[in-house]
Amino acid sequence: MKRLLLTLFFFGTLTLTAQKNCVYETNISDSIGTLKTTEKYLVNEMVFGNTTKYVFLSLMNVSGYPMLNFQTITKTKDFQKVSCFDKNSRIYFQLTNGKIYTLIAAEENNNCGTIIPDESKQYNINLLTSNFLFMKADLEDLKKYPVVLMRVRYGADNTVDYIFNKELKSDTIKGNYAPETYFINYFKCIEE
């Protein structure tokens, strides 16, 4: 009996320690509504030649509506092709069970990002941030199954695929990430 209780205690403790804590960049509630935003999370990093590109996601709850904040930071010494979001932009997430979730652009205006000044004048840095709305009310599979692919449709039918790895170790920003299980670990942070 002691072994059974000890085993149950061990697995219960293991389950609790495996869950991710919710850390918010923004957590505001006032007479207008509520806004919760999780910290930015690295889901893709590409270093090729003179170019480094990071893709970050964060989840938002805007007065009860779940949203996704998508952000890219591109740093290059070369000429930079700019990708823009418009009202027809979409993000698609494909899960391991084959289901695809579609998110639609929340902004109506074109958004081509912001050029960030580089003090050394050696790099061109572009910061592109946009918000997307979840279209389906049923998000249960997104909270249960890992993501294998994110397809981003920018304006002018420019589409880019990002593979979600089980593990991502970033040497440039010094951290370990688990992109595949991002929604499994953090979607609970924006639920009411």
Q: Is residue 4 part of a domain?
A: no
Instruction: Give the chain's domain count.
Output: 1
- Identify the CA nearest to 132 among candidates 106, 169, 101, 164: 106
- pTM of the entire predicted model: 0.85
- In-domain check, residue 158: yes
Residue 104 lies in a domain: yes
The answer to the question of residue 62 being in a domain is yes
CB 40 within 8 A of CB 58: yes
150 lies in which domain range? 24-190
Residue 67 lies inside a defined structural domain of this protein: yes
Phi, psi (degrees; rounded to nearest 5) at 188: -60, -25
Whether 182 is covered by a domain: the verdict is yes
- Contact call for residues 134 and 145 (beta carbons, < 8 A): no
**Digitized pLDDT (tens) for each residue of the chain, 192 residues in all:** 344 333 334 444 433 334 578 999 998 888 888 899 999 999 999 998 888 999 999 999 999 999 999 999 999 888 777 889 999 999 999 999 999 999 999 988 888 888 887 777 788 899 999 999 998 778 999 999 999 999 999 987 789 999 999 999 998 888 999 999 999 999 999 986
